[in-house]
Structure 1
Amino acid sequence: MAVHTAAHHSSAQVLPFRESLLAMLGVSFVAMLVALDQTVVGTALPTIVSELRGFELYAWVATSYLLTSVITVPIFGRLGDYYGRKPFVIASIVVFTLASVLCGAASSMSFLVVARGLQGIGGGMLVGTAFACIPDLFPDSVVRLRWQVLMSSAFGIANAIGPSLGGFLTQYYGWRSVFYVNLPVGLLSLFFVWRYLPHLRHIAHKERMRLDWPGALLIAVALGSLQLFVERLPEHGLSLAAIGLLAIAAAAALALWQWERRCAQAILPVDMFRNASLNALFTLAVLGGFTMFSLLFYAPLLFQGGFGMSPNEAGVVITPLVVFITIGSIANGRIVSRIRNPNRMLYVGFAMLAFACFAVALASHNTPRGLLMAVMIVGGLGLGFVMPNLTVFAQQTAGREHLGIATALLQSLRMIGGMIGTALTGTLVTQLYSSGVHKALEADGALHWFTQLADPQILINRNTQGALVGELAKAGHNGAPLLEAAREALVGAIHLGIALAAVVALVSLWQTRRVPLIKLQRKVEPVIHAD
């Protein structure tokens, strides 16, 4: 094998500019593939359920994807360290695209759930390997930050157009087209990755690596149980089954820690967790994920269900949040390489995120739309300052040998933080909303309609609202004040949930002091060209 060093190019990158650009386009299309799917499918779900008739499996369309992707991210992140990332990126594109075709061809909800699980495996492989391709191509962290803007832009574009595209495709071409749209994007990314992404390895092996199957299995059990616990919590609370799942997750995590300490070729190297800097960054990934997903998930529900905005109006208000994540990432790449203490960007980012969450928690239906959009801009910039830096700082600290698993773990922990955040906020919102609705209906002697008003989605669907008001009027009740009481209960519940996210952002701000000063080094290490 020939040793190929990045020092051959003045900008400290493995390939010349043109080849670097084409390789990064391939990686960016891969990122867009995952991001587009996550945003497009949500819009089509109600239509899918009404046609395939399997409402009891509604949540599992999302859960099966999340479950398999969360499990596979760290596993393939580590495998990429050993064997190089290109083969896994190619395999993941193929799996994801084929699974998308199967989703589009689904004839029942159970078939769709299985196909979404397979799609999640492809998505987890993509996230676990694609993000780590960037430091492979750009060993210099300053240069890497500038190129990472392409990846951030791909995510931003996909998140911005996803919901609208999902609605458009579903309305005019049917819900199956929502999955088939992945086919051209998948083929495009496959071409660029196959043709231009180099096959690089950072670990030379004197002996063949044995896959740590017990470690992989324990990761699957721990993360799978945690995901299922999180899914059950908002609807069922701390039931016996939920506590059992949490106990299984904790036992599997403890067994994983004990096993990996003794395993010669551990899939999860425990020495990483003895690194104070990495530990602090991993903690911030969990906390940042908690705040980010709580805001992204519940702000639209607040604007539509709580403030009575139409889906289009809410979309206009939310769009700056998504767009300015990309703009923040671009600005961050310019700023962070020019200041003496790059850690300051984390302080600024978490402060902006905390401010945005508190502002949303204090907003009412009388708050001007322009002001809400300004708050969304601040939140987006905050996330743009935090997320790329967590990734680059972790890659800088982990070193070449653990680059892939450190990057993958950061993504996994952010997803876990998001899962915990949406579960806790969701539980809070569900309980407080139900309690408020129950009180209002009880006071009016209309408890018979509790099941219809118990789901806050009724506050978004105006046709259903009209039918309910009609039913209540026939029974001698005034439906409008009851709906308004339900709306106020939802606003109060979400306000409290978003305030919790703001407190977590302040905790993140405090925890940032644990991150030792990161030096964005302009040094180049040799990599092994495996082509």
Structure 2
Amino acid sequence: MSAQPINVDDEDSGTGRRLPFRQSLLAIIGLCFVTILVGLDQSIVSTAMPTIAAELNSFDLYAWVGTSYLLASVITVPIFGRLGDFYGRKPFVIASIIIFTTASILSGMADSMMYLILSRALQGIGGGMLVGTAFACIPDLFPVAAVRLKWQVFLSSSFGIASVIGPSLGGFLTEYYGWRSIFFVNVPISLLGLWFVWQYLPLIRYEHKQTIRLDWIGAVLITLALGSLQLFVEMLGRHGMGWEVAMLGLVFVLFTVILIKWESYCPYALIPLELFRVKSLNVLFLLSLLLGFTLFSLLFYIPLFLQGGFGLSPNEAGILITPLVVCVTVGSIISGRVVTRLSRPNHILYVGFILVLICVLGTIFSNRGGSSYVFMAYMVLGGVGLGMIMPNLTIFSQEVAGKSNLGIATALVQSIRMIGGMLGIAIVGSLINYLYATGMTRQLSGNIPNDSFPDLYDPQLLVNPPQQLALQEQARQMGMGDIQSWIDIGRETLTVSIHSGFWIVFALTLLAAVWVYRLPLIDLKGKKTVRKKEGK
């Protein structure tokens, strides 16, 4: 175990591992448990979300459970990415595990949707710290890209293992033990990760000449800008463009302008804007944004698509979603073996985005009564594609940014992906809610008494069997007969609404596939980064 901090010169690129093989392996195992926490949380919660929203009777806040986590993560990722650059990453990895675990327990104890949203926001703080520091430990331990890519497979595989377990485990636990149990499974994993990180992860510090200061004003401005954007998207989808919604849009623009101005002149900016002037990083950041939009839209709304639209149980839905997340590992392994051998590593991104496009398009054309095996095949292609994209966006950005900005560049790629995810969940969710409400109004107008069955206009009815039984009893007492045909209409309407939302996902994924063309050549074989080759 490395008890003393390892101080490394800021410009030193290293020649390989600085640690004995055994310590490197055990440190990586600790980071793998951390990765499992992040991967498990993404997949297990999304599968349980329809049931959670139905039980807590707050389907209108469905998207906020995801966006509160992502918003908190977006803010904390760059903060702790920068702090990790200055002070070393180990203390923040340890703190993040403790916060994440505490928030998981609080989420499992939630008795209202607002309580759950606040707990998820705290969990997002821990998750942001994890992403901002743990993932940047890999280039600390293995400075050479070729060596790093081989060890990166461990993290990709652990993420894949969590993703394999997540949907099925989430569906199984939700159906048989209640949705609260999905948050408590984090506890033993956290304890294992904490022990390995505490014992074996070295504290590596890069020596910086500048004074260590943190841009708290920038952090507040990021919070205000993204928070107002989130509210704007939510309110626009729910109420249309009124003057209150327009004001929220203007508030977002105002805070964004102030943020850019502040970061331009702040000598210790939280977001170094000079990184956005590097063409390679600029392209990678946009690709990360678009990938986040696609990834989180799929993870968050395919469970609703299967449970609400197709009428499947949480367990059945989890089984169908599993190939999407399990094959992220397959794609990562394939990518790790192939990308360093390619004369143009950029081509791996083309393949990845094309596979994801096929997945999204296949989901759009899937309907009730279709083959489960065909649907799972689409999920396989999507998972492989995501596995080819996600690790390479991180590796490419690390190569371009150089040692002095390694942590913040890694953090920016992750946080920008979360911003994309936040936008995807909010925009697609708002569109689905709007289309479902208007579609049901059109379908049922004149067929049932006005305002007699308001539950029919709320999608949570479709994933809440007790509520369906109560509605059936209400209809029987009113002499209306069987309501199954109304529920079938609701399922069809929800399916069409989600299809429409996924067309937006398809369009932005197509844009990303085209945008890869603008990425300059990334050289993973040489010791010089592309940034140096570009003269930056």
Q: Same fold (TM over 0.5)?
A: yes
- Structure 2 residue aligned with 1:266: 269
* Residue 217, structure 1, aligned to residue 181, structure 2: no
1:100 alignment partner AA:
S
Aligned partner of 1:70: which letter? V
What is residue 162 of structure 2 aligned with on the other side?
Answer: 158
Query: What residue number does 1:410 align with?
Result: 413
1:91 corresponds, among 83, 89, 95, to 95
Which residue of structure 1 lines up, in the alignment, with residue 135 of structure 2? 131
Post-superposition CA distance 1:480-503 (Å, at most 9, x none)? 333322222222221121122112
Deviation, structure 1 residue 394:
1.0
Q: 1:306 aligns with which of 296, 306, 309?
A: 309
> Is 1:488 matched with 2:498?
no
CA 1:482–1:166: 2 relative to 1, 3 Å: closer
Q: 1:453 to 1:514 in 2, by over 3 A?
A: same
Q: How does 1:96-111 map to 2 (within 5 A)?
A: 96-103=100-107
Range 140-149 or range 464-473, more displaced: 464-473
Distance 1:143 1:150 in 2: 12
**1:146·1:330 contact (CA, 8 Å) conserved in 2?**
no
Q: Counterpart amino acid of 1:193?
A: V
Give the superposition deviation at 1:305. Answer: 2.2
Residue identity in the other structure for 2:332: S
Deviation at 1:361, TM superposition (A): 1.0
Paired letter, 1:290: F
| 2:429 alignment partner, one of 405, 426, 439 | 426
Identity of aligned residues (%): 54
Range that drifts further, 178-187 or 399-408? 178-187
The code of the aligned residue for 2:328 comes to I
For 2:65 and 2:507, locate their aligned partners in 1 and report how far apart those are by CA, in whole Å.
Answer: 31
CA shift, 1:315, in A, is: 1.9
Aligned residues of 1:77 and 1:129 also touching (Cα < 8 A)? yes
Q: Distance in 1 between matches of 2:36 and 2:495?
A: 33
Q: Does the CA contact (< 8 Å) of 2:63 and 2:425 recur in 1?
A: no
- CA deviation profile, 1:446-482 (whole Å, cap 9, x unmatched): 4334521112232233443344345335433653333
One-letter amino acid of the counterpart of residue 335, structure 1: V
* CA distance in 2 between partners of 1:107 and 1:480 (Å): 30
In 1: Cα distance, 2:117 partner to 2:505 partner: 31
Partner Cα separation in structure 1 for residue 29 and residue 423 of structure 2: 33
Which residue does the alignment assign to 1:19? Answer: 23
Shift in CA distance, 365/50, structure 1 to aligned 2, threshold 3 Å: closer
Distance change in 2, residues 1:226/1:150 (3 Å) = farther
Per-residue CA deviation, residues 244-273 of structure 1 (Å, 9 max, x unaligned), is: 333333222221211122122222111101
TM-score by length of 2: 0.88
Aligned to 2:515: 511
Q: SS in structure 2 opposite 1:201?
A: strand
The 5-angstrom pairing of residues 106-505 of structure 1 reads: 113-166=117-170, 177-202=181-206, 204-449=207-452, 451-473=454-476, 474-476=478-480, 479-505=483-509
Q: Considering only aligned residues, what root-mean-square deviation do their CA atoms show, in Å? A: 3.0
Q: Structure 1's 138 and 182: CA in aligned 2 closer, same or farther, altered over 3 A?
A: same
Checking the alignment, whether the CA contact within 8 Å between 2:472 and 2:483 is kept in structure 1 is: yes
Partners of 2:331 and 2:388 within 8 A in 1: yes
Instruction: Deviation per CA, 1:339-360: give whole Å up to 9, x if none.
Output: 1111111111111111111111
TM-score normalised according to structure 1 size: 0.89
Change (3 A) 1:176 1:305: closer
Task: Give the counterpart of 2:37 among 27, 33, 40.
Answer: 33
User: Residues of 2 paired with 1:351 and 1:345: CA distance?
Assistant: 10
In the aligned structure 2, how far is the partner of 1:79 from the partner of 1:354?
A: 37
Describe the shift of the 1:457–1:116 C-alpha distance in structure 2 as closer, same or farther (beyond 3 A).
closer
Aligned partners of 2:54 and 2:435: how far apart in 1? 29
Give the unaligned 5+ runs of structure 2: 1-5, 530-536
CA contact (8 A) 2:175 2:315 kept: no
Unpaired segments of 5 or more residues in structure 1?
Answer: 526-531
Q: Which residue number in structure 2 is paired with residue 71 of structure 1?
A: 75
Q: Does the 8 Å CA contact 1:438/1:447 hold for their aligned counterparts?
A: no
